[in-house]
Structure 1
Amino acid sequence: MRSKLTTLFLATLTAGSCVLAGASPASATSSYGKSKWINSESGWQHAGVYVEPGDMVRIHYVTGRWTVDYRKFPYVSSAGYARHIDRRIYQGCKILNGHPYGSMIAKINGAHYKVGRSALIQARQAGFLELRVNDADGCLRDNDGSVRVKITVADY
């Protein structure tokens, strides 16, 4: 019995050493991911992800709907409103003016990014990833709904 355990231990140790020997630290990258619900009634929301400069952050819409005014406008995905609807919404509440209301946006330590349904962002600086709907804090009271996104980060 003892010799079988010793053989198994040595085989496991040898196999692990072979795997480690094949990995080059210079070419190694790591990645991790998580899912997060983002509420349209809240401002910037921490995604629970810290990034370093150069990290590649992929944000992808999974499910859910939200609206920037549940009384007047339909629920949409994180892509936001079509242009013909966006033009009918009061334009004084956008955070990123060149992007539609209802679209998802991101921030890393003060740098803003458009996300929409999907984005691949290279972090320009270190910080926590924050997400929200493209609608300013003072205009959130008539919002409703939430969307779920998948976030993947690869560091190089």
Structure 2
Amino acid sequence: MRSKLATLFLATMAAGSCIFAAAAPASASDTQVGKRKWISSESGWQRSGVFVEPGDLVRVAHVGGRWTVDHRSFPYVSSRGYPWHIDREIFQGCKILNRHTYGTLIGRINGHVFKVGGATTFRVREEGFLQLRINDGDGCLGDNDGAVRVKVSIIDEG
């Protein structure tokens, strides 16, 4: 008798949870499921784990962490990079994107390199893997430290 009651109870609970799951409304976060990834300041281009196709609307956003381009001389910053008054104090021979400050998060799809910063949303022009890194050249990564965590979401598939 006890095992029949237990079986009946479990069956009732399972059926009830299916009804509740089906009746639950979809939230905005359900439509923008994203991949979270740590991007190290000590490595060059790193895969985000997201393959994009032409027409995709992609959002990349900083969700945590800090990094520096020189752990001995400069403070840790977010993926927005250094303010210009600090950037001017850093040796200027290592930037990948010269029009943006050191420490800025940048992205690349195939050969197209662009600023991400704290967050960006963009429409993809060509297919490929989205790669990310700090705005600091390969030959200058030895004194870097830290990492930032980003969330990459395909908001709308083209």
Give yes or no for TM over 0.5.
Answer: yes
Structure 1 residue matching 2:93: 3-state secondary structure: helix
Query: What displacement does 1:54 show?
Result: 1.4
Q: Is 1:81 equivalent to 2:82 in the alignment?
A: yes
What is the RMSD of the two structures over their aligned residues, measured on CA atoms? 1.7
CA distance in 2, matches of 1:42, 1:57: 23
Alpha-carbon displacement from aligned partner over 1:57-107 (angstroms, at most 9, x marks no partner): 100100101000001000000000001000110111000010000000000
Give the share of equivalent positions with the same residue, in percent. 61
Q: Structure 2: how far apart are the matches of 1:115 and 1:145?
A: 18
Partner letter of residue 38 of structure 1?
I
| TM-score relative to the length of structure 1 | 0.79
Question: Which of structure 1's runs of 4+ aligned residues deviate more than 4 A?
Answer: none
Q: How many residues align?
A: 130
Q: Which residue of 2 aligns with 1:155?
A: 157
Q: Please tell me the residue identity of whatever aligns with 1:81.
A: Y
Q: Deviations over 1:30-61 (max 9, x none)?
A: 75411010000000000000001111110010
Aligned to 1:60: 61
Taking the aligned partners of 1:74 and 1:113, their CA distance within structure 2 comes to 24
Amino acid at match of 2:157: D
Q: What is the identity, as a one-letter code, of the residue corresponding to 2:102? A: Y
* Match in the other structure for 2:38: 37
CA contact 1:31–1:155 (8 Å) conserved in 2: no
